[in-house]
């Protein structure tokens, strides 16, 4: 958790779409697919975009060459990409805009900040165990190599 995060509205890919005005300064926390997509879109629309990603490169689950291509495209579109960085604290006087202070002490001013830090499963209330469907330690549905669940009825189709 970023110190001071409660002092400002941090948007997500869910409520990002509620924006009615183009922010002048737009910060994206996370360099995965959603963060890159939102960052590139806002840069192309004219916002001053900074993407902050904790890993050494954006799109870490993708091929390194693909990651470089997208990184270069973001730069061509005018975005700034800060890799190997995390947010240390946020300060805001109005609850919307503010300053993000990174772990290296550098600062980024923003009008809108978006967290695109990945998704987490929320299947606890589904009762999957009653259907014989096991989840892994992170809460994802466990599947076999052929993507079948542990439900006894999820075997191969009848021939």
Task: Give me the residue spans of the domains in the chain.
Answer: 5-115, 121-159
Closest CA relative to residue 99, chosen from 17, 44, 46, 25: 25
CATH of domain 5-115: 3.50.50.60
Is the pLDDT score of 57 beyond 90? Answer: yes
How do residues 104-159 score in pLDDT, each as one tens digit? 999 999 999 999 997 777 777 888 888 889 888 878 888 888 888 888 887 665 54
- C-alpha 146 chain-centroid distance: 28
Instruction: Provide mean pLDDT across the span 58-80.
Output: 97
pLDDT value at residue 138: 79
How do residues 87-98 score in pLDDT, each as one tens digit? 999 999 999 999
Query: Residue 37 in contact with residue 79, Cβ under 8 Å?
Result: no
Report the predicted TM-score, pTM, of the whole model to 2 decimal places: 0.79
pLDDT value at residue 63: 96
pLDDT value at residue 121: 77
pLDDT value at residue 114: 98
Is the pLDDT score of 46 beyond 90? Answer: yes
Considering the chain, what is the average pLDDT of its residues? Answer: 92
Confidence label for 25 from pLDDT (cuts 50, 70 and 90): very high
pLDDT value at residue 153: 81
């Amino acid at each position: 958790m970023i110190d001071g995060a409660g002092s400002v509205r941090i948007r997500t890919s869910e409520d990002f779409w509620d924006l009615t005005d183009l922010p002048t300064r737009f910060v994206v926390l996370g360099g995965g697919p959603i963060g890159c997509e939102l960052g590139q879109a806002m840069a192309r629309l004219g916002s001053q975009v900074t993407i902050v990603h904790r890993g050494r490169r954006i799109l870490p689950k993708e091929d390194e060459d693909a990651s470089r291509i997208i990184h270069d495209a973001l730069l061509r579109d005018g975005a700034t990409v800060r890799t190997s960085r995390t947010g240390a604290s946020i300060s805001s006087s109005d609850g919307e805009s503010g300053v993000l202070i990174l772990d290296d002490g550098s600062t980024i001013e923003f009008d809108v900040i978006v967290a695109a830090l990945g998704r987490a499963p929320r299947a606890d209330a589904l009762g999957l165990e009653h259907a014989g469907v096991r989840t892994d330690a992170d809460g994802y549905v466990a599947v076999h190599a052929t993507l079948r669940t542990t439900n006894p009825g999820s075997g191969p189709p009848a021939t």
